[in-house]
Amino acid sequence: MSIKQLPPHLINQIAAGEVVERPASAIKELLENALDAGATQIDIDIEQGGVKRIRIRDNGRGIPKEELPLALSRHATSKIASLDDLENVLSFGFRGEALPSIASISRLTLSSKCQNSDEAWQLQGNGQEQFDDPEPCSHATGTTVDVRDLFFNVPARRKFLKTEKTEFRHLEDVVKKVALSRFETGFTLRHNQKPVLNLRPATSIEMAERRVAEICGPAFTEQSIRVEHEGADLKLTGWIGLPTFSRSQADLQFFYVNHRIVKDRVVTHAIRQSYQDVLYHGRHPAYVLYLDIDPTKVDVNAHPTKHEVRFRESSLVHGFMYRSLHKTLADFRPKDQLVASEEARPTELLNKAASLQDSLRYSSMTDQQSLNIPVKEQVDFYKRLHGNENLENQASSVGLGQQGQINTETSTANESANLSINSLNKGVNTASSGGFSMPVQRATTDTGEIPPLGFAVAQIHGIFILAENAHGLIVVDMHAAHERITYEYLKRSMAEESVRSQPLLVPLAISVSKKEADCADNNPDTFKKLGFSLSRLSPEKITVRAVPSLLKNSDIESLVRDVLSDLLMHGTSERIQQAMNEILSTMACHGSVRANHRLTVPEMNSLLRDMERTERSGQCNHGRPTWTQMSLSQLDKLFMRGQ
């Protein structure tokens, strides 16, 4: 078979097959062109799911008459003039690249008027390489691309399209993703002459949140945290859903790099890791995040459809993403989640605060109330595993009792992580049974304000604590809440003492690939920090001579292989820390107050105060919620008050 030069028309159709898979693919390219043209308003009309018609009208800069034929020619663009431009791409695409591909598989009409022009011009195509000369038309400043009968001359592609409803759903998803990338641009979407979306330009954070609520649902914005972090020439902004607002599918995840929607394994892994201690197993986090990065440090042309990018320093991006989101979730407290109810009146809040202050004053604010929790065995077990002979001395500096119970000083407001299982003051009485002691906290602050989680009023079946705060009723799962407090204390204790290593009696030899062995050689400090001692025996074999004390009974070979895999793929690894955290989580679970354990009101209030200061106290170690709020309006509706 002889080699032949393909005709231009066939080349365009082949190119269209790479870029335009369905109507949603075509509208993505056309919307990005409109945004690159500086449009502040884009109107979209769809007929029959986009197969019959896609019309996009923008108020951008427009296209001059003499450039209209070039806009429908391959390898013609207004955005790239040199190799430097290609390496500093900030636009969405190359205007003129998608248009000829779409024009080759549809009946396309291109109408435009420039900002400084008195005339508008129109160019029509019929799925062929040749176009007629531009003709005058009536058109406002901007551009309209009218695509009719998509795939009319490619029947093989057309028969693989789904139903009208399915195709429009994909198309609508694309419009929503693009609308989230540019808040300053307004969007309207109509399907078969029926309005579907009407998004006004957003010029403030509040207006942007309203757009996010309209696209992602009001429940997301109500249960999300605002993210704003900057460092290492990177900037991360957006919203992340609370762990309790998790999803069964990864269907509410939007990530943008320089305002371009992308999917990246490095980013997905970093986000997943940041939720590792608070997300229920099998669930997926929800987020709308924006990463601003120097365009020279990211390759946006790694995929024909530009859905994927390639970071030049992926480990830097991964670390920045993980630290930013991990800190955001850790710093989130009950007081941040509870906002004043719109129905509540200031006088009612003042009267409630005064009433609670009077009723919850105790005869002695420093009397120690004992909470008998049998966890001495778990603490001793942790000391033996961790090899921490100085733990008792460390704990005594924060109030270790005579019977082996761990007590800590009351944390200051700016030391949210300095919490233990019991947070009690120095010099107080301790329980004689070896359990943890809980202090009586001051009923109200000096200003008479009610704490975020309020004050305990009762305990139900030895499982739940009922508390009253300024907004209504708080219900707390006491075991789950105390489990998180215990877990955070154990993690902090281990971090302060660093990871202890234990030499193996018989070194463990592991066969690996040359690439993995090189990785172990190049990252000795990483493994040393994790408590491992590794050496290379041969080009494809390493030996493990020491392991973390806490993991001496774990599957060491699998852990080392997993760490090497993470280092090769992401440049970092949290496998070892996760494995140690799993052990600490189990210890915390066994060392926390159990169901049917009766607590006094002071003990319950002490637990509430610890929750307000502890990181990630909204979820237990397994991702289950530890507390929930029922507002006064919800309680009124429950009993049909005012109806």
Indicate which CATH number applies to the domain containing 563: 3.30.1370.100
274 and 176 fall within a common domain: no
Query: Sign (positive/negative) of CA torsion 175, 176, 180, 183?
Result: positive
CA distances, 266 to each of 73, 218, 254, 493, 578 (Å): 36, 29, 14, 30, 18
Q: Which two tokens stand for residue 565?
A: 């895999």
| Domain-ending residue, one of 151, 180, 199 | 199
Q: What is the pLDDT of residues 550-592, one digit of tens each?
A: 777 788 888 888 888 888 877 777 777 777 777 778 777 777 7
| Domain-ending residue, one of 576, 603, 624 | 576
468 and 353 fall within a common domain: yes
Read out DSSP for 521-558? HH-HHHHHHTT-EEEEEETTEEEEEEEEGGGTTS-HHH
Q: How confident is the model at residue 99 (pLDDT cuts 50, 70, 90)?
A: confident
584 is a domain residue: no
349 and 431 fall within a common domain: yes
406 and 515 fall within a common domain: no
> Is the per-residue pLDDT at 635 higher than 80?
yes
> Is the per-residue pLDDT at 423 higher than 70?
no
2 is a domain residue: no
Roughly what angle, to the nearest 10 degrees, separates helices 601-613 and 478-497?
50
What's the rounded mean pLDDT across residues 403-430? 33
Q: Any idea what the CATH number is for the domain that residue 633 is in?
A: 3.30.1540.20
Q: Which two tokens stand for residue 498?
A: 């660093």
Q: Which amino acid is at 583?
A: I
Weakest-pLDDT range from 240-254, 533-547, 571-585: 571-585
Per-residue DSSP letter, 583: H
490 and 506 fall within a common domain: no
In 3D space, the residue among 452, 442, 401 whose CA is nearest the CA of residue 422 turns out to be: 401
102 is a domain residue: yes
Higher pLDDT, 433 or 546: 546
In 3D space, the residue among 33, 37, 29, 7 whose CA is nearest the CA of residue 106 turns out to be: 29
> Is the per-residue pLDDT at 24 higher than 90?
yes
392 is a domain residue: yes
405 and 382 fall within a common domain: yes
Q: Which two tokens stand for residue 332?
A: 């989130």
What is the rounded CA–CA span in Å between residue 479 and residue 590? 10
**Alpha helix positions (H), 426-529:** 478-497, 514-522, 524-529
601 and 478 fall within a common domain: yes
249 and 294 fall within a common domain: yes
Q: Any idea what the CATH number is for the domain that residue 81 is in?
A: 3.30.565.10
285 and 377 fall within a common domain: no
Query: So what's the pLDDT on residue 140?
Result: 94
Chain centre to alpha carbon of residue 173: 19
Q: Any idea what the CATH number is for the domain that residue 325 is in?
A: 3.30.230.10
283 is a domain residue: yes
Q: What is the pLDDT of residues 292-337, one digit of tens each?
A: 999 888 887 666 556 778 888 888 999 999 999 999 998 888 888 7
Q: What is the pLDDT of residues 104-124, one digit of tens each?
A: 889 999 999 998 888 999 998
Q: Is the pTM of this model over 0.85?
A: no
What's the rounded mean pLDDT across residues 43-69? 95
Query: So what's the pLDDT on residue 17?
Result: 61
583 is a domain residue: no
What is the rounded CA–CA span in Å between residue 353 and residue 444? 8
CA distances, 283 to each of 196, 277, 286, 327 (Å): 30, 12, 10, 20
Number of domains the chain is built from:
4
| Domain-ending residue, one of 183, 199, 215 | 199
Q: Which two tokens stand for residue 558?
A: 């699998």
414 and 521 fall within a common domain: no
The range of the structural domain enclosing residue 523 comes to: 501-576
